[in-house]
C-alpha cells in the first residue's frame, strides 16, 4: 500500500486526489494532509482519512484541531509543510499554490520521496536545482498538470527516441481571439470565468492572461529535457487533446481524454499502473467530434513571449517572472490594477532584471522576495 502525503489537500487538486484515494482504499493510505486557511474542510478530511500528520496555516488552527483529533499529530506554517514533505510517506503530491510549493518539494526529494507535481512554481523558479536533486536522489517526478501528464504518457515506451517537438495545448482561456484593445476592458468577473476548467482564482487568472501556458513551457523544458524553441503552444478550445509529441520521423503521438483532472492525478498516484475509473469515457461522436487548433498571438498575450524570453535567458529570470506575476495577479484579484497591467508590468520588470546564475535554494527564495517587493515601485 502506497502512503501519500498531500500538500494543499483542501484545494481543487487536493480534493480530487482524495477522491481518487477514496475510490482505491486497497492501494493508498493518507499519511499527511495540509491546508492554508480552510481548517474546517481539513477537519472533515482528517475525520475520514485519519492521517498521521496534519498541517495548518496557523498555529491557532493546529492547536484547536489537535484537541478534536488526538490520534493525529499537528504542525503549522512553513516548518509544518517541510515536516509533512519529509515524513513517513512514499509519495508527496504537491498541489500548493505559488512559490511556497518549492521548498517542501525540494526537501521531499532530498528525503527520497517520489513527487506527484501539481505546483508549477517548483520547476519554473527552481528548475535546475530541483531536477539536479531528482537525479541525485533517484526519485520519480510525475507530472499532474493535464498537459505535462499527457506529454509524459506520449513519451512512455519511446525512451531513447529523439523528440522533434513538444506540442503543448491550451484552451485559450476566456479571451481567445481578443485584441490588445479588448484586453484593456477586461473585468475581474470576466477573467474568472474559464470556459473549460474549474480551478482556483490564481490559476484561473493565469489562464486568462495565458501566463499559465507560459509557465508550462518552462516546466516542460525541465521535466522533459527539451529546449524552449522545441515547445510549441497550440490553442485547442475543446480541451480534448491534452498535449502531443512529434518525433523525428514526423509521427505525432497525442493523449486525448475528457477534461477531468482525476485522470492525470490517478496516473501519477498509481504509476506505473493505470487505475480503473467509472467516469464517462470520451465520446468521439459528441465532444470529441470536431477538434480545432489555432496559433496563439504572443504580441497580444505577452505573457507567452515573456515566458519564452525568461527560460531562454535562464538563471534567475524565470523566478523573477513567476514572483512578480504572483503579486500582480493578487493585486488584480483585489481590483487594485487592471487586467492589462499584469503583462505590461511584467514586461518592464523582466527588461530591468539583472540575472543571477548557479542558484541555490536560498538564492531562489531571496530573488523571489526581492522581486515581489519591487512590483509596486513599477506600478507607481
Query: Is it the case that residue 193 has pLDDT exceeding 90?
Result: no
> Is 80 exceeded by the pLDDT of residue 309?
yes
pLDDT at residue 307 is higher than 90:
yes
Rounded average pLDDT over 344-350? 97
Across the range 242-253, mean pLDDT stands at: 98
Strand partners, 252: 246
Q: What is the pLDDT of residue 24?
A: 97
Picking from 49-63, 161-175, 191-205, 293-307, which range would have the lowest pLDDT averaged per residue?
Answer: 191-205
Degrees (nearest 5) of the Cα angle 333, 338, 342? 80
What is the second-level CATH architecture of the domain 148-378? Orthogonal Bundle (1.10)
For the chain, what is the radius of gyration of the CA atoms? 20
b/e map of 89-109 (b: 16 or more CB within 10 Å)?
A: bebbbbbbbbbbbbbbbbbbb
Model pLDDT, residue 79: 98
**Is-contact 97 38, C-beta < 8 A?**
no
Residue 57: the pLDDT is 97
Segment 183-199 shows an average pLDDT of 87
Report the top-level CATH class of 2-143: alpha beta
Q: Which pLDDT score, from 0 to 100, does residue 197 have? A: 67
Domain ranges of the chain: 2-143, 148-378
The answer on pLDDT for 8 being more than 70 is: yes
Q: How large is the average pLDDT for residues 330-352?
A: 97
**Is pLDDT of 196 > 80?**
no
pLDDT in tens, 46-101: 999 999 999 999 999 999 999 999 999 999 999 999 999 999 999 999 999 999 99
What is the pLDDT at residue 376? Answer: 84
Q: What is the rounded average pLDDT for all residues in the chain?
A: 96
The model's pTM is 0.95
pLDDT score recorded for residue 127? 97
Read out DSSP for 224-285? HT--GGGEEEEE-TT--EEEEEEETTS-EEEEE--S-THHHHHHHHHTTS-----SPPP-TT
Backbone angles phi, psi at 168, to 5 degrees: -100, 115
Residue with cell 510549493: 101
Grid-cell match 526537501, residue found: 107
Residue pLDDT, tens place only, 112-160: 999 999 999 999 999 999 999 999 999 999 999 999 999 999 999 998 8
In whole angstroms, give the CA distance from residue 245 to residue 243. Answer: 7
Exposed, middle or buried: residue 273 (CB in 10 Å: 0-12, 13-18, 19+)? exposed
- 204 Cα distance to chain centroid: 12
Q: CA-CA distance, 321 to 316, in Å (whole number)? A: 9
Predicted confidence band of residue 380 (pLDDT cuts 50, 70, 90): confident
Amino acid at each position: 500500500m502506497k502512503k501519500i502525503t498531500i500538500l494543499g489537500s483542501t484545494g481543487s487538486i487536493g480534493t480530487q486526489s482524495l477522491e481518487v484515494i477514496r475510490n482505491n482504499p486497497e492501494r493508498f493510505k493518507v499519511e499527511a494532509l495540509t491546508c492554508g486557511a480552510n481548517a474546517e474542510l481539513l477537519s472533515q478530511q482528517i475525520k475520514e482519512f485519519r492521517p498521521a500528520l496534519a498541517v495548518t496555516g496557523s498555529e491557532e488552527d493546529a492547536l484547536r484541531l489537535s484537541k478534536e483529533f488526538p490520534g493525529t499529530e499537528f504542525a503549522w506554517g512553513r516548518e509544518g509543510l517541510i515536516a509533512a514533505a519529509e515524513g513517513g510517506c512514499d509519495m508527496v503530491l504537491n498541489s500548493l499554490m505559488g512559490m511556497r510549493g518549492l521548498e517542501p518539494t525540494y526537501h521531499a526529494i532530498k528525503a527520497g520521496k517520489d513527487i506527484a507535481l501539481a505546483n508549477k512554481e517548483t520547476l519554473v523558479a527552481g528548475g535546475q536545482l530541483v531536477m539536479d536533486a531528482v537525479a541525485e536522489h533517484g526519485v520519480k517526478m510525475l507530472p499532474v498538470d493535464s498537459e505535462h501528464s499527457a506529454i509524459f504518457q506520449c513519451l512512455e515506451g519511446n525512451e531513447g527516441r529523439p523528440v522533434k517537438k513538444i506540442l503543448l495545448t491550451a484552451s485559450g482561456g476566456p479571451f481567445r481571439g481578443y485584441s490588445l484593445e479588448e484586453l484593456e476592458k477586461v473585468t475581474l468577473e470576466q477573467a474568472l470565468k474559464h470556459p473549460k476548467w474549474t480551478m482556483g482564482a490564481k490559476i484561473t487568472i493565469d489562464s486568462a492572461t495565458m501566463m499559465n501556458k507560459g509557465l508550462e513551457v518552462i516546466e516542460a523544458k525541465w521535466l522533459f529535457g527539451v529546449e524552449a524553441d522545441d515547445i510549441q503552444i497550440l490553442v485547442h478550445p475543446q480541451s480534448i487533446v491534452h498535449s502531443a509529441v512529434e518525433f523525428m520521423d514526423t509521427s505525432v503521438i497525442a493523449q486525448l481524454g475528457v477534461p477531468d483532472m482525476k485522470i492525470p492525478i490517478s496516473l501519477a498516484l498509481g504509476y506505473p499502473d493505470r487505475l480503473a475509473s467509472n467516469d464517462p469515457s470520451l465520446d468521439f461522436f459528441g465532444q470529441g467530434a470536431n477538434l480545432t487548433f489555432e496559433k496563439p498571438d504572443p504580441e497580444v498575450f505577452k505573457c507567452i513571449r515573456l515566458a519564452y524570453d525568461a527560460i531562454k535567458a535562464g538563471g534567475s529570470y524565470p523566478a523573477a517572472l513567476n514572483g512578480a506575476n504572483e503579486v500582480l495577479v493578487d493585486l488584480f484579484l483585489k481590483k487594485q490594477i487592471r487586467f492589462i497591467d499584469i503583462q505590461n508590468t511584467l514586461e518592464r520588470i523582466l527588461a530591468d532584471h539583472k540575472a543571477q546564475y548557479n542558484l541555490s535554494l536560498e538564492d531562489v527564495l531571496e530573488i523571489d522576495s526581492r522581486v515581489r517587493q519591487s512590483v509596486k515601485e513599477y506600478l507607481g
